[in-house]
Amino acid sequence: MTLTKSISLLSVLCLSALPAAAMSLSSTDIQEGQLMDKAFSFNGFGCKGDNRSPQLSWQGLPAGTKSIAITAYDPDAPTGSGWWHWLVVNLPVSQSELASNASGHLKQGIELRTDFGTQGYGGPCPPAGHGMHRYQFTAWALPEAKLEVTAETPPAMVGYMLNSMALGNATLTATFVTP
C-alpha cells in the first residue's frame, strides 16, 4: 500500500469515527435561560402581552428526518402535567426556520390545539405570584412526512407521539415571570 493510499484510508476511518453533528435550536427573539419579553406573553388569563411567537431556527437534522415539529411547553405550570403553549407539526424537512410572529401565518405545517383550548401559539402566562416558569421550545426531527393528527388532537397525545418516535430533538429554554 502506498503512503498516499494509507493516508487516504486513515482519513476516511477518522472521519467516520466522528459523531454526527448534534441537532440545535436557536432564536433571534429569545435566549437560553433568559427572561422572555412581554411581546411573547399571552394576552388573556390576566396577562397583557402581544402573544407573538418567537423566531426559531434549527439545524443538524439526523439522517432519515422527513418532517419537523415545533413545540413550546411549560413544565412548571401548576397542573400536575405541565402546559402545552404551541404545537406545530408536518413542517417539511427543507424548512429550517419559523419567522417571528409566524403563528397563524404558516404556509406549510399545521398548528394544533394548545392547553389554552385554541389553535396556534399561546404565550407565557404563569399565575400571578407563582414565580418564574421555564418555557421549553423544542424542534423535533421525525421519521414520517406527516404525523397522523388533526388540529383537535389533544396536546398530551401529540407530546407522547413526538417523544416516542423522534429521531432527535433540540430544546431552547427561556423563562417568564408574571408581575
- The CATH label, of 3.30.450.40, 3.40.50.1980, 3.90.1150.10, 3.90.280.10, for the domain at 21-176 is 3.90.280.10
Cell match 422527513: residue?
66
Of all residues in the chain, the percent with pLDDT exceeding 70 is 88
- Which position has the higher pLDDT, 179 or 129? 129
Using the predicted structure, report yes or no on whether residue 151 has a pLDDT greater than 90: no
d(CA 152, CA 51): 21
Lowest mean pLDDT among 10-19, 31-40, 70-79, 161-170: 10-19
> Please, what's the b/e burial string for 128-146 (b: 16 or more CB within 10 A of its CB; e: otherwise)?
eeeeebbbbbbbbbbeeee
What's the mean pLDDT when you consider all of the chain?
Answer: 90
pLDDT at residue 14 greater than cutoff 50:
no
Residue 12 pLDDT exceeds 70: no
**Contacting residues for 55 by C-beta, under 8 A, at least 6 apart:** 27, 28, 29, 97, 98, 99, 100, 102
DSSP string for 105-162:
--SSSEEPB-TTSSBS-----PPTTS--EEEEEEEEEESSSS----TTS-HHHHHHHH
pLDDT tops 90 at residue 61: yes
Per residue in 36-58, pLDDT tens? Answer: 999 999 999 889 999 999 999 99
Whole-number pLDDT of residue 20: 52
The helix (run of H) or strand (run of E) holding residue 15 is helix 3-17
- The string over 95-112, giving b where at least 16 C-beta atoms fall within 10 Å of a residue's C-beta and e elsewhere, is eeebebbbbeebeebbbb
Residue 18 has a pLDDT of: 42
The pLDDT of residue 6 is 40
The DSSP call for residue 41 is S
pLDDT tens-place string over residues 65-107:
999 999 999 999 999 999 999 999 999 999 999 999 999 999 9
